[in-house]
Amino acid sequence: MPFLRRLRHRHDHRSTAPRDVAIDQRGIPTHACLVCGCNVFLVHAIFDDYDIAGWYVDAECSCCGSPLTAPCPADDPLGHR
Ligand SMILES: [Zn+2]
């Protein structure tokens, strides 16, 4: 499962400081936010047997709040899956 990959999450959720400027990045699936480089997204996910079984691609950057499109296997241009 890819969750062991290095996280590039820099936002301190305990901070009350304003986030970076959010930019609408929806439409092109991405693995990292174009504004801040963060690769932790907020998504709606479905769990089954203690693992992620599916997710909605409408996402939000966890660091700056930019709306974006999360990737899914069907988006892989090399068709690895
Ligand atoms: Zn961001």
C-alpha 78 – ligand 1 centre gap (Å): 26
Domain presence at residue 57: yes
Domain presence at residue 79: no
Per-residue pLDDT of the chain (81 residues; tens, 9 = 90+): 455 567 676 656 555 555 558 899 999 999 999 999 999 999 999 999 999 999 999 999 999 999 999 999 999 988 876
Domain presence at residue 18: no
How far CA 32 is from CA of 8, 28, 67, 70, in Å, comes to: 9, 11, 12, 9
Domain presence at residue 80: no
* pLDDT attached to residue 37: 95
Burial class (CB in 10 A: 0-12, 13-18, 19+), 62: buried
CA distance 70 to 59: 6
* pLDDT attached to residue 10: 66
Domain presence at residue 19: no
Number of structural domains in the chain: 1
C-alpha 21 – ligand 1 centre gap (Å): 8
Which domain, by its residues, includes 40?
2-12+24-72
Domain presence at residue 7: yes
